[in-house]
Structure 1
Amino acid sequence: MSEKSERPENSERSERSEKDGKAERTGKSGMAEQQARLAVFKTYKLYVGGKFPRSESGRVYEVTDSKSGQWLANAPLASRKDARDAVVAARKAVAGWSGATAYNRGQVLYRVAEMLEGRREQFVREVAEAEGLSKARAAAAVDAAVDRWVWYAGWTDKIAQVVGGANPVAGPFFNLSTPEPTGVVAVLAPQESSLLGLVSVLAPVIATGNTAVVVASQRAPLPALSFGEVLASSDVPSGVVNVLSGRTAELAAPLAAHGDVNALDLAGADADLAVELEAAAADTLKRVRRPAAEDWAAEPGTSRLTAWLETKTVWHPIGV
């Protein structure tokens, strides 16, 4: 009786052990397959006219971790032709972007901040590798960049009240001064601050209705190229922002001399390059903001907003 009752139990035990063995073997096999899986590396591209082209020359250059020197990616090495294409795209977008209401531009910029926040972890990793920061410091830099973008988004419909207004005149007429965008602004992004510095120089350009051609940090271009993906997935019209990567001096020269570029921000240029570019820009009477030592984590103020605005004054007779 006892022998008969034990047989089914022994049988069940053997079945369970066999299943457990199979599961263990399957688990080990799955882990081995997982370990053998090849990594999928990201392909970084330029952002021009709302699209993601490779450099027209097909050239790339290696980007390495600033601390370990480990290879991170191949970034596109943009050419002069890419720079000219970016200017064409930016010029085409001027009318629509400058003609949009300031309130609408503010909504679009806020949408960019939303999308940037949604990809926070990616940017924390990229900024940490680009600038040799700890994860905590990189996270603080990314958070500051998001906050900075929101701050500038709030200024879109307020800057006109600060720099514009009615002027006192003597006579049966009045005049009003209002700010208007300069047009296409070429921006040399800061070399050391790959995201926060980029946001600090780019946001005021487009917040005031200008369009931009951005030359990313030569040493650490990956956060800027990823930021192009953020812009593409936001509501920013194509051509409003164009992002190039490569040798700063090689790309800045044609931008400084280009007749369709109205202004130049030299934040990412060294002293010698800045002198050359300012001389080139003088031929086409560009507005130029010279490079200066800046703490990108400090409060920004409104100086970069007013730098890319022209003042239009309208005289109007007073009716009887």
Structure 2
Amino acid sequence: MPDRISVAKTYKLYIGGAFPRSESGRSYPVRDARGAFLANAAQASRKDVRDAVAAARKAFPGWSGATAYNRGQVLYRVAELLEGRREQFIAEVAAGEGKRSQSIVDAAVDRWVWYAGWSDKVATVLGASNPVAGPYFSFSVPEPTGVVGVLAPQSSSLLGLVSVLAPVIATGNTAVVITSQDRPLPAITLSEVLATSDVPAGVVNILTGRTAELAPWLASHADVNALDLTGAPESLRTDLERAAAGTVKRILRARSGEPDWTRQPDISRLRAFVETKTVWHPMGV
């Protein structure tokens, strides 16, 4: 009996809750840590960036309008599904990063849970009831910024990705993510998790391809409100900041020194993409 030929997986983009191929029809080879061929991933184009931003903008009112408690439940459901596909993530991270991956995957799941737990606590920690000299109530409340463009870390294909994506959507934003260029497979598997979870279509959109090609279009897009440059190559950062300045985007730069996904998380990333709205209300008689 002849040996069976396994079914090769077709890796696609994740836009608006669907899995389209790149409109350009392009793909590029993904190799493991030793240089051996793993798969062909879709190579997104400028048009795919525009489609992803449109999907994120469409999803923003519903996601930002959901209760913080509900968003936390939705994120926790993602963690449950991540745990269920743990072995697949371990294999993909090991292939791409060439290191022991069990602890990395466990840390990624735990970090997703950590941010899920913060969803309904951010307003209490970052908001305030302000003392005023008059018959008024004054409240300061954090609100999501809007559509956030995220350049995922290049070297950390899962833990780094979770560390930059989870806080963006936990605070009510929607996201367009450009994955690690050379290690996109865990991000694609994460998109399958998101598609089968309770995360509404368009809240997270994941693009694979060449960072240098896609990032400038994301940075200059007028309907993107903020940009996380954590995974931007050093040679691109100045140009991306200039492009983002044209539409007055909020920018999160990568921290100097040790990457923050190698440490315990804190609320700095939750704070990065919220804006404080102050409301005045007259006191009743």
TM-score by length of 2: 0.98
Aligned twin of 2:21: 54
Q: 2:134 pairs with 171, 177, 184, which one? A: 171
| C-alpha separation in 2, matches of 1:236 and 1:275 | 33
Aligned twin of 1:314: 279
* Equivalent residues, number: 283
Say whether 1:242 aligns with 2:205: yes
How far apart are 1:249 and its partner, in Å? 1.5
How far apart are 1:295 and its partner, in Å? 4.2
Say whether 1:255 aligns with 2:221: no
| C-alpha separation in 1, matches of 2:201 and 2:284 | 44
- RMSD of aligned alpha carbons: 0.8
How far apart are 1:272 and its partner, in Å? 2.3
Say whether 1:216 aligns with 2:179: yes
Question: Of Structure 1 and Structure 2, which has the larger fraction of its residues in helix?
Answer: 1
How far apart are 1:319 and its partner, in Å? 2.2
Aligned twin of 2:31: 64
Q: 1:98 pairs with 39, 61, 64, which one? A: 64
Say whether 1:298 aligns with 2:247: no
| 8 Å CA contact 1:221, 1:245 repeated in 2 | yes
| 8 Å CA contact 1:173, 1:317 repeated in 2 | yes
Q: Which letter does structure 1 place at the counterpart of 2:181?
A: Q
Q: Which letter does structure 1 place at the counterpart of 2:97?
A: E
How far apart are 1:255 and its partner, in Å? 0.8
Aligned twin of 1:41: 8
Percent of residue pairs bearing the same amino acid type: 70
| C-alpha separation in 2, matches of 1:85 and 1:296 | 29
TM-score by length of 1: 0.87
- Say which SS state the counterpart of residue 95 (structure 2) adopts: helix
| C-alpha separation in 1, matches of 2:74 and 2:135 | 41
Q: Deviations over 1:135-154 (max 9, x none)?
A: xx201100100000000000
Q: 1:128 pairs with 73, 76, 94, which one? A: 94
Point out the structure with max Rg over C-alpha: 1
| C-alpha separation in 2, matches of 1:171 and 1:37 | 79
Unaligned runs of 5+ in 1: 1-31
Q: After the TM superposition, which parts of structure 1 deviate over 4 Å for at least 4 consecutive aligned residues?
A: none
Say whether 1:287 aligns with 2:261: no
How far apart are 1:172 and its partner, in Å? 1.6
Q: Which letter does structure 1 place at the counterpart of 2:170?
A: A
Aligned twin of 1:142: 105
- Say which SS state the counterpart of residue 101 (structure 2) adopts: helix
Q: Which letter does structure 2 place at the counterpart of 1:221?
A: P
How far apart are 1:192 and its partner, in Å? 0.2
